Structure 1
Amino acid sequence: MGMSDFSQRFLFDDSDVRGELVSLGESYTHVLAKHPYPEPVAQLLGEMLAAAALLVGTLKFEGLLILQARSSGAVPLLMVECSSERELRGIARYHADQVTADAGLRELMPEGMLTLTVDPRNGQRYQGIVALDGINLSACLSDYFATSEQLPTRFWLNADGRRARGMLLQQLPAERIKDAEARAASWQHVTVLAETLSAEEQLGLDNETLLHRLYHEEPLRLFDPQPLKFRCSCSRDRSAKALVSLGQQDAEQLLREHDGTVVIDCQFCNQRYSFDAADVAQLFAGGGVQTPSDTRH
C-alpha cells in the first residue's frame, strides 16, 4: 500500500460491530514540523490527530470536526481539526519547563476537559464535553461514548513522534444478533481481543497483519483505504476578514502601532499574511484582498 496517511474501515460479518483503522505519517510530520514539540507533547498531539480522523469516519456530514482540550497543566491547549474531506491540522500550546520525559495525559493535562465539536456546513452545530480524567486519551474517549446515548465505541490510540495510529470499534444497531445477552457477549469478545494489542504492534504492523493477529478466527471484511492529508485552512482572505471584523478605525490604529504593516500569523502552520496601508484602504473600500497592493512584500 503506497499511502502513508489513510483510514480504512472493516466490518465483522457475524456480529453488529464495525471498525476503523487510521494511519498517519506524512500529515503527522507536517504538523510536528511547524513547532518544536517535546516528545510527550508530540505523542499526545499524534493521538489526538488519529482520534479526529477516526471520529470523522463515524460521521456522515460535510464540514469540520474539532477536538479542543484545555487544562491547568504543562499543556494548556491542544487542538485538532479534521474536515469531512479528511484534511487534518493540529496545534499544541505547552510550557516547556513543565514537560517531563515520559509524561502522560494526566501529568500533561491535569483538570483537563476536551470539547468535541461537529460543525456542519449546513445544519446545527453539536458539542460534547469529555473529562480528561482517564489514564490516556483512548480511555477518555471510550468512557465518553460509554456514558453518552450514542453507540458504544472504543478507541486505541498510539503515536511515537513519527507515526500515529488509531483503531476504533463501534457496536452497530441490532441486526445480525437480536438477543441482548448474545449481543453483549459479542461486543465483549471483540473488545477483549483488541485489548491484547500492544503499542508496538499497532505502530508497526500493516492493517491486514494487525487484523489477522487479533481476529484470525472472525470473518471480517476490510474495505478500501481512504486518503488523509495535512492541510491548513488559513488563507489571506480569511485573515483579511478577521482584520475587517475589527473595524476600519482599529485596523488603521494597528497600522500605526506596527510601523505601517499588520501581520497576521496562522498558529497552525506559521504562514504569515501582511497588510500595509494600501491593502487596508483597499479592503475597506470594498476592493478585496486577493490582489495585494504593490507596496506589500
Structure 2
Amino acid sequence: MPDFSQRFLFDDSDIRGEMVGLSDSYRHVLAKHDYPQPVAQLLGELLAAASLLVGTLKFEGLLVLQASSSGAVPLLMVECSSEGEVRGIARYQAEQIGADAGLRELMPDGVLAMTVDPRSGQRYQGIVELSGATLADSLTDYFATSEQLPTRFWLAADGLRARGLLLQQLPADRLKEPEEREASWQHAVTLADTLQLEELLGLDNETLLHRLYHQEALRLFEPRALQFRCSCSRERSSRALISLGQTDAEALVQEHGGQVEIDCQFCNERYAFDAADIAQLFAGGGSQGPADTRH
C-alpha cells in the first residue's frame, strides 16, 4: 500500500503509536507547484504529521495544520480528513531559499496552528510557536504546552516519499506507578530517537518496528489507506460568488472581460463563470452552468 497510516500498541505499557507513509499523494501535491527541495521537504513532513494526528483522533471532519512566518516560507498548510484524504500547499520566496535551508531559516518567528473542524460539534484550534529546530520538535512542543497526552513525532520527506512516526503515552492502565510509567515512556522514546532518516524513509513498518522494539510485545493493526483529494468544486466556487451579492458578482465578470475565473490554490483546478452563469446562480438555478471547468 503506497499511502497508508497504521496503528500499533505496546501490550505491556500504556503507549500507542502510529506510522504514516505517503508517496502517491505526496507526489501529487508536489506536482501542482514547482517547489524548491527544502520547501517540498517541509510540506511533506507536515502532510505526514497531519495524517498521523488524524489517526489518533476519534472524529468525523477535517484536521488542518497551518504554519506561518515572516520568512522565505510565509505559509505551509495541509489538510487531512477523517476519511484519509490529504492535500497541501506552500507559499515561498524562491530567491531567499538556500539549498540546505531548514525550518529556522525558512520560517523565522513562525507559529503553528492546529485546527480540528468536526462535521458536528465545536471547532477547536490550538497555536504554538515554531520554536524547535524541526517541525517534529515544534509539534512535540505543542502537545507539551497544551497539557495533552505526552506525544513525540519523527518526520522525514525527500520529495518522493514522506514518512512519520508518532508515539503517545496513554492514561494509566497497565502501569499504575508514575515512576514505572515514566521509565517505560522514556525507554520507548529513546529507542525511537535512534532512527536514522534513511531507515524511516526506506524500511517497511514491520521491519522498522522490529528493529526498534524487538524485545517488546507489539500489536500492529491493519493499515488504513490515505489518498490525495481536493475538496474544491464548482459548487463551492459558486457559493463564494453568491456571497458577494449579485451586483458585485456581475461587476466582477464585467471587470474581467465577461468571464471570472476562480482558481483552487491546492490543485490548480479552475472554475470559470460568465454572465449567464451569474444570472443562473442568483435565479436559484444552481452552479451547473454552461462554462467549462479546466486545468
**Pairwise same-fold verdict (TM > 0.5):** yes
Partner of 2:290: 293
Residues 1:269 and 2:267 are matched in the alignment = yes
Aligned AA (2:147): E
Partner of 2:131: 133
Q: CA deviation at 1:155?
A: 0.3
Cα distance in 2 between the residues matched to 1:295 and 1:86:
29
TM-score by length of 1: 0.97
- Identity fraction in percent: 74
- For the structure 1 residues 294 and 95, does the alpha-carbon distance in structure 2 shift closer, same or farther, using more than 3 Å as the test? closer
1:276-297 superposed Cα distances (whole Å, 9 cap, x missing partner): 110000001111012x227998
After TM superposition, list the pairs within 5 Å mapping 1:148-227 onto structure 2.
Answer: 148-227=146-225
Aligned AA (1:124): Q
Cα distance in 1 between the residues matched to 2:292 and 2:231:
26
1:200-255 superposed Cα distances (whole Å, 9 cap, x missing partner): 10000000000011001011011100000000000000000001001111101111
After TM superposition, list the pairs within 5 Å mapping 1:1-297 onto structure 2.
Answer: 3-290=1-288, 292-293=289-290
Cα distance in 1 between the residues matched to 2:258 and 2:68:
35
Cα distance in 1 between the residues matched to 2:146 and 2:91:
29
Cα distance in 2 between the residues matched to 1:234 and 1:52:
19
Unaligned runs of 5+ in 1: none
Cα distance in 1 between the residues matched to 2:77 and 2:160:
19
TM-score by length of 2: 0.98
Mapped contact 1:278–1:295 kept (Cα < 8 A): no
Mapped contact 2:62–2:118 kept (Cα < 8 A): yes
Deviation above 4 Å: which 4+ runs of structure 1? 294-297
Cα distance in 2 between the residues matched to 1:294 and 1:251:
16
Q: Secondary structure at the match of 2:211?
A: helix
Mapped contact 2:269–2:293 kept (Cα < 8 A): no
1:158-215 superposed Cα distances (whole Å, 9 cap, x missing partner): 0000000000000001000000000000000000000000101000000000001100
Mapped contact 2:270–2:293 kept (Cα < 8 A): no
- For the structure 1 residues 167 and 260, does the alpha-carbon distance in structure 2 shift closer, same or farther, using more than 3 Å as the test? same
Cα distance in 2 between the residues matched to 1:148 and 1:121:
23
Cα distance in 1 between the residues matched to 2:293 and 2:173:
62
What is the aligned residue count?
294
Cα distance in 2 between the residues matched to 1:8 and 1:41:
26
Q: CA deviation at 1:68?
A: 0.8
Q: CA RMSD in A?
A: 1.1
